Each structure stands twice: as C-alpha cells, then as structure tokens.
A and B are shown apart, each in its own frame.
Chain A
Amino acid sequence: MDYNWNWGVLFTDPYLDWLVMGVQWTFAVALTAWVLALIVGILVGVGRTLPSRPIAFICTAYVELFRNVPLLVQMFLWYFVMPELVPDDMGRWIKRDMPNPEYVTAVIALGLYTASRVAEQVRAGISAVGQGLTNASYANGFSVAQTYRYILLPISFRLIVPPMTSEFLTIFKNSSLALTIGLLELTAQSQQIAEYTFNGFEAYTAATVIYVCIALLATIIMQVAERYTRIPGYMGSR
C-alpha cells in the first residue's frame, strides 16, 4: 500500500479554514438544537407526569413518535417532505427564501428528536423524586405549579445531570447527520478535504480528534455542574 502521509495538509489553505468552519457549524447546530431540545423536552417530560390525561397522552405520543423514527429519516422528512405539506406560499418561501435552510432544518430535526429523549429523562427524574415528597409539597399548601417549580423540577434536574450529559454528547455526534441534507459541518468538511487532497486518513483523524475533544470538554463541564448541584445526603430514592 502506498499512501502519501501528509499531516501538514490539515494546516494549509484552504483546508484549515474548512475544518474551522466545519467545527463552527457543528457547534451552531448542536447548541441551538440542544436549546430547542431542552425547552421542548422539559415541557413534554413534565406534561407526561401531569394529572391531566389528554396532556399526558399527547406528550407520550410525541415521545413515542420522535424517539422511534430514525433520526436520518426525520432529517429527510423535514427537509424534503415538510415543505410540500405546508400551504403553498409557505412551502415556496421555505424552498426559495428561507435563510440557511440546511441549518434550520438540521436544528429542527435534531432538536425535536433529542427533545423526545430529554423528555424521557425529565419524566424519569420527576418520578424518581417520588409520591411521598410530592404529597408533602401539596400538604404544605403548594399548588401544582408551585410543586413543580420549587420541589419536583429542582430535585429531578439534579438527579438527571449524568444521563443528560450523555444526551448532550450524543447531540454533537448526531449533528453529523446534517451532512446528508448538505450542511457543511465537521464531518462533511472532512469528507470534502479527503476528496480534494486524497489524504482521507488525516482528514477523518482530525474530525475524530475534534469530536473527542468536544466530548471531553462537555463531560468536564457537566461533572463540575454535577458537583456544584449535588444535594448533601440525598440519594434520590429511598
């Protein structure tokens, strides 16, 4: 096998710029989608635990739907099918005039998919707090909203920091699927560098190293968060 090793290629013009741009898009997609996933996920997760049957049903349906359809399929559905289903004017606007369509679509697809996973964690966290404490809160005079605001959410959020760390890492990895709808994020840029330079090994190694660094950074941040929010003497279950 004769392969021309050339690590230097990664630092030459324009390939270094491509990598940097790829990292920027990866961060942009992952972080925006994460915010969307947190907002929707918390609402849906809380909704599943509410006494109201219709709300709990809708939220359960959401989770089952978004969690069980493969993310890649969802990406394609949002990108290719959704514009055809909405009213004509809107569809035309999405296809022609919407800025950064690949980015917006990737954020929506990844965000709503991850929301279903976040919702499961939130629901599990709330049920781990337990009926006893919930009853104590109501008995203390708190309304349903206050019970969630002051008791259930603060405790369950602390309980779910570890599984949420892994969801946060997953959203970075899953953001690479955005390349299938044409977003030039990290993986796509590496692929492009590989095609232009024939130094595929170096290009994909660079991507791998960058993903690992992101994962390490995220893990460290979440560990600090966990230490900071830990409840003295509380295990979360009795």
Chain B
Amino acid sequence: MIEIENLSKWYGDFQVLTDCSTKVAKGEVVVVCGPSGSGKSTLIKCVNGLEPAQKGSILVDGTEVTARGADLTKLRARIGMVFQHFELYPHMTVRENLCLAQQKVLDRSRDEAVAKAETLLNRVGLTQHIDKHPGALSGGQQQRVAISRALAMDPIAMLFDEPTSALDPEMINEVLDVMVELASDGMTMMVVTHEMGFARKVADRVVFMDAGAIVEDRPTEQFFSAPESDRAKDFLSKILNH
C-alpha cells in the first residue's frame, strides 16, 4: 500500500531524512516513534506529498508520489490524515467540516454527505455536537471530529502525526479507543506516536527513527522485547519509565 524507498530530504543544507525505507502493507498498522526532531513528521508528510522529497521514491497504492506532475490532489483525497493540533476548519460547524470535502472533492450529494457525517459522528459519540464550531469542543472531541473528517472520504489508508500529544491526559484514551477500533476494522495505518501502550496493542510493526534515519523497523513484539540499537533502548527506557 505504502512503499517508501531510500527517501532523502533536505531543508537547504540540512538533511532531515537520510535513506529512509519502509513499507505499510494493506491492513497493516505501523507505528513510527523516535525522539523529537528525528524527522517523523517530515516522513509522514512526504507520504501524501505535503512535503517534497529530493531523493528516493514513495509508492502509494501504485501512485509515485515523488514523480513530477503526480496528481497529488487525487491521491490525497484517498489518504486520510490526522494532525497533532487537529486542524479543523474553525469557521465551519462540525457538520460542514465533515461534508465540505465530500461534496467539493468527491462530488457527493448534500444528503449523502450529511448521512455519512452523521454515521461517523455517531460512531465516535459526538452526534449531539454536530452543529457546534470546533472552538466549542474539547481537544479530545476535536480530534475525534478530525478523525471522522478524514474517514468521511473513505480513505484507503490513514496517516496520524502525534494525534494525542496535544491532549490533556484524561482525553488521550477517548482518541486512542477510536484508533484501536479503526485498526481492528482493518484500516491501513501509519501512526507517529509515543503511546507505547497503543503500539503494543495494535501495531504490526514499529519503526524507530533517530536523526532522520530509520534505525529499527521490526515486528512490534521484537521491538519491545529486544531492541537492537542502543538508541532505541535508551528511547524506550525513557519513555516507558514515566
């Protein structure tokens, strides 16, 4: 589904990504972790072409993302993305947040779009907030709306960039629960997160990044029980001991 091969990227002289290669197969859940500034966000943004890369290739469902003239708009419509700071459209109600792209990008009818929005909101328990603006919701609620907005497009894969890092602790689980359910429904997911409990529970593989390179890329159990690199060991001991 997602195949990243020898991807390198520079910001000016600064190399953010060095020769990154990994894969997410259909129905697979891959967690990406690593210290802050290691390039996780950059890598995941390259997957749907929000950031261009200078070397290497990314194949998403057969489309070469890094090719010149690639139809990125069309590709992005089929890949959901969830951000750390939710990024809901603040000037629209929750309903419009979920309907706009359905109608303008997928050309769905208003009735179809609204029906879809209502079903999805019902699933995440937010039906009664459908007429509110995002600013009136808690962080956890906003993130669940953001996930629903992405799902409304019937994506073939979902990208998450630290979806719970901006949340108060008591709201983290309500968002993780939605993601766990999504994973068990068979959604293809690439998730940047530090929630190791979530990784243990649903991830098929864990990718560990440091300084722009993929240091480890292994099945979840192996990663946790016997990390190979010192950097991963160090990272795990820090993150699991608090």
Task: Please give the residue numbers on chain A whose beta carbons come within 8 Å of chain B beta carbons, in ascending order.
Answer: 132-133, 135-143, 146, 150-151, 154-155, 158, 231-234, 238
Whether A233 lies near B50 (C-beta < 8 A) is no
- Return the chain B residue nearest A230 by Cβ: B91
**Cβ–Cβ < 8 Å partners of B45 in chain A:** 135
Cross-interface CB contact of B89 among A133, A135, A238, cutoff 8 Å:
A133
Cross-interface CB contact of B101 among A140, A154, A158, cutoff 8 Å:
A140
- Return the chain A residue nearest B155 by Cβ: A141
Q: A231-B135, A232-B135 are in contact. Are A140 and B85 (CB under 8 A)?
A: no
CA distance A109 to B130 in the complex (A): 48
Cross-interface CB contact of A231 among B73, B81, B90, cutoff 8 Å:
B90
CA distance A155 to B74 in the complex (A): 25
19 A-B pairs with CB atoms under 8 Å apart are: A132-B87, A133-B89, A136-B88, A137-B89, A140-B76, A140-B100, A140-B149, A140-B153, A141-B73, A141-B153, A142-B105, A155-B90, A231-B91, A233-B90, A233-B134, A233-B136, A234-B90, A234-B134, A238-B85
Chief secondary structure at chain A's binding surface: helix
Whether B90 lies near A136 (C-beta < 8 A) is no
CA distance A125 to B104 in the complex (A): 24
**Cβ–Cβ < 8 Å partners of A233 in chain B:** 90, 133-136
- Return the chain A residue nearest B79 by Cβ: A139
B77 an interface residue at 8 Å Cβ cutoff?
A: yes
Whether B81 lies near A139 (C-beta < 8 A) is yes
Whether B85 lies near A142 (C-beta < 8 A) is no
CA distance A93 to B72 in the complex (A): 51
Which of A133, A140, A155, A231 has the largest number of chain B CB atoms within 10 A?
A: A140
Whether B135 lies near A234 (C-beta < 8 A) is yes
CA distance A238 to B79 in the complex (A): 26
Whether A132 lies near B85 (C-beta < 8 A) is yes
Whether B85 lies near A146 (C-beta < 8 A) is no
Chain B: minimal CB distance from A75 (Å): 39
Chain A: minimal CB distance from B78 (Å): 8
**Cβ–Cβ < 8 Å partners of B88 in chain A:** 136
**Cβ–Cβ < 8 Å partners of B90 in chain A:** 133, 155, 231, 233-234
Q: A141-B77, A232-B133, A232-B135 are in contact. Are A136 and B104 (CB under 8 A)?
A: no
Cross-interface CB contact of A142 among B104, B135, B149, cutoff 8 Å:
B104
**Cβ–Cβ < 8 Å partners of B149 in chain A:** 140
Q: A140-B76, A142-B101, A150-B104 are in contact. Are A234 and B133 (CB under 8 A)?
A: yes
B223 an interface residue at 8 Å Cβ cutoff?
A: no
Cβ-closest 10 pairs across A and B: A233-B135, A141-B77, A136-B87, A139-B81, A234-B90, A141-B105, A232-B133, A140-B101, A231-B91, A234-B135
CA distance A155 to B215 in the complex (A): 41
CA distance A135 to B90 in the complex (A): 14
**Cβ–Cβ < 8 Å partners of B57 in chain A:** none
Which of B50, B81, B87, B88 has the largest number of chain A CB atoms within 10 A?
A: B87
Whether A234 lies near B83 (C-beta < 8 A) is no
Chain B: minimal CB distance from A228 (Å): 13
- Return the chain A residue nearest B88 by Cβ: A136
Which of A138, A155, A238 has the largest number of chain B CB atoms within 10 A?
A: A138
CA distance A139 to B91 in the complex (A): 18
CA distance A143 to B74 in the complex (A): 9
CA distance A3 to B114 in the complex (A): 74
Chain B: minimal CB distance from A189 (Å): 44
Which of A141, A142, A151, A233 has the largest number of chain B CB atoms within 10 A?
A: A141
Chain B: minimal CB distance from A95 (Å): 49
Whether A231 lies near B101 (C-beta < 8 A) is no
Whether B100 lies near A150 (C-beta < 8 A) is yes
CA distance A146 to B104 in the complex (A): 8
